[in-house]
């Protein structure tokens, strides 16, 4: 079976209908304080030949209010290239940043909900999943935006980067005020067009991952949807930028070759920066269809006195999509939540324990943490769970502090939610 055929099977397969349903059936009790929308983005290819990563973005949303599941909707994001596709790169090599599938994440900033893919500008949508249009920070952003921006819990600033130029600078760091004014634009010195999917933020630093999956012109000219490939000669390193002086030279820390799609968090401890993320020993040696390597939770400690990075594997379970209580981004944290094949995991890094919620034959996606109080682990986890026996999906709500317990509530959806990427809770 080819990769494209694989992405047309089971819960990878796209759904054909955009639907709306109201007053959904619920098993259990939805906590009454959960008043808002859970939105999750992901690729929903419209053509059988499309690579899964290149499928048009479709957001699935559930509205909770007053202990009831008021509605479910799923909608494509109507980007400017949705109906009449046009290429990301123009004939002269420049980028058309309005060309987008907007299929990776959905985040909130400055009162807006933004659908993101790292190759393009954001697209604003509403909580009811109508597309407002391309968003460029009032004309100030002429760059793509990572699908994993970070909001500083102390300042409310949004930190992000863009990459994708075929010429230097290959990566540029950006910062926006809480009300959406772009105030920092700083090139990051990397030697080639590396596929930089995520990064980290601490109280004083921004950390970039310069890793050996790099742009390959041969793949691009051959029409590959993901023209990036593993490069044994590129090396791997993490770069530390000072938030108070982003134009100062970065301090680079060499690490063992690997790839990291997703970090969980980073924070400062004594004279070091501690980073947690999911690590692949290798990725895409031949092309963007090679997903044969497992991924595990790892920790990197960057010693700011010695310039040495220490690395250690935290678990041998194949896992992905690490999340934390986002209110603690950049602060010391102990708890990380990840998704495995048929379970959601809770890592307590201080106690060195792992809790899990097993779903049997069913398949959870990424779990989003919704805080109940200021305590780090006091809250709920939400995840779409696919039920192969019925070919339908549910929204499952768990107590994040008691992962082994039965779900607090299960919202039964009228159709399947295909495997996707990332989502968030938008309260109120």
Binding residues: 148, 197, 262, 422
- 426 in Cβ contact with 35 (< 8 Å): no
Report the alpha-carbon distance of residue 177 to residue 295 in Å, rounded. Answer: 35
Look-up of token digits 């030279």:
249
Paired strand residues for 109: 112
Measured distance CA(155)–CA(206) in Å, rounded: 14
- Give whole-number Cα distances, 195 to 5, 199, 216, 320, in Å: 25, 11, 11, 18
CB proximity list for 352: less than 8 A, separation 6 or greater: none
Burial class from Cβ neighbours inside 10 Å (0-12, 13-18, 19+) for residue 140 reads middle
CA-derived radius of gyration, the chain: 20
Q: Strands, E, within 202-293: which ranges?
A: 205-210, 213-215, 228-230, 237-242, 251-254, 259-269, 272-280
Nearest to 150 by CA among 136, 164, 161: 161
Q: Return d(Cα 392, Cα 414) in angstroms, integer.
A: 7
129-138 b/e (C-beta count within 10 Å ≥ 16 → b): bebeebbbbe
Strands 343-348 and 353-358: antiparallel
C-alpha 363/C-alpha 340 separation (Å) is 9
The label of the residue with tokens 């075929």 reads 166
User: Which residues does the annotation place in the binding site for Fe cation?
Assistant: 148, 197, 262, 422
Q: How far is CA 128 from CA 55, 61, 73, 113, 137, in A?
A: 21, 8, 7, 11, 22
What are the residue ranges of helices labelled H in 81-200?
Answer: none
Taking alpha carbons only, the member of 360, 367, 313 closest to residue 336 is: 367
Structure tokens at 274: 């501690």
Strand, helix or coil for residue 263: strand
- Evaluate whether 118 touches 147 at the Cβ level (below 8 Å): yes
- Give the span between the Cα atoms of 39 and 62, in whole angstroms: 7
């Amino acid at each position: 079976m080819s990769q494209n055929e694989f992405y047309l099977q089971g819960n990878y397969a796209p759904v054909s209908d955009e639907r709306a349903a109201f007053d959904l059936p619920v098993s259990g009790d939805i906590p009454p304080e959960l008043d808002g929308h859970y939105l999750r983005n992901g690729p929903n290819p419209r053509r059988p030949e499309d690579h899964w990563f290149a499928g048009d973005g479709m957001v699935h949303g559930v509205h909770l209010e007053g202990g009831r599941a008021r509605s479910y909707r799923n909608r494509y994001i109507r980007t400017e290239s949705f109906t009449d596709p046009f290429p990301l790169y123009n004939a002269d090599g420049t980028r058309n940043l309005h060309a987008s599938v907007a299929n990776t994440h959905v985040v909130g900033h400055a009162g807006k909900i933004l659908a993101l893919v790292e190759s393009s500008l954001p697209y604003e949508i509403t909580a009811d999943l109508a597309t407002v249009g391309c968003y460029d920070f009032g004309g100030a952003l002429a760059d793509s935006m990572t699908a994993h921006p970070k909001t500083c819990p102390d300042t409310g600033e949004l930190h992000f980067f863009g990459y994708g130029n075929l010429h230097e600078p290959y990566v540029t760091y950006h910062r926006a005020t809480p009300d959406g004014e772009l105030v920092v634009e700083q090139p990051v010195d990397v030697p080639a067009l590396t596929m930089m999917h995520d990064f980290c933020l601490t109280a004083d630093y921004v950390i970039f991952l310069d890793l050996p999956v790099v742009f390959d012109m041969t793949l691009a000219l051959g029409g590959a949807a993901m023209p990036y490939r593993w490069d044994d000669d590129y090396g791997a390193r993490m770069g530390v930028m000072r938030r108070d002086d982003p134009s100062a030279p970065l301090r680079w820390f060499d690490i063992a070759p690997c790839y990291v799609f997703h970090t969980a968090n980073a924070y400062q401890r004594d004279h070091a920066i501690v980073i947690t993320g999911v690590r692949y020993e290798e990725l895409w040696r031949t092309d963007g269809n090679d997903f044969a390597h497992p991924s595990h939770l790892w920790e990197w400690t960057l010693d700011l006195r010695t310039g040495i990075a220490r690395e250690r594997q935290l678990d041998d379970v194949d896992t992905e999509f690490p999340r934390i209580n986002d209110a603690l981004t950049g602060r010391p944290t102990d708890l990380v939540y990840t998704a495995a094949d048929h379970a959601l995991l809770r890592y307590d890094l201080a106690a060195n324990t792992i809790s899990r919620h097993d779903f049997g034959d069913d398949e959870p996606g990424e779990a989003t943490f919704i805080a109940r109080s200021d305590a780090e682990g006091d809250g709920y986890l939400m995840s779409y769970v696919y039920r192969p026996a019925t070919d339908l999906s549910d929204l499952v709500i768990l107590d994040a502090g008691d992962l082994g317990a039965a779900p607090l509530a299960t919202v039964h959806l009228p159709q399947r939610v295909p495997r996707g990427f990332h989502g968030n809770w938008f309260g109120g």
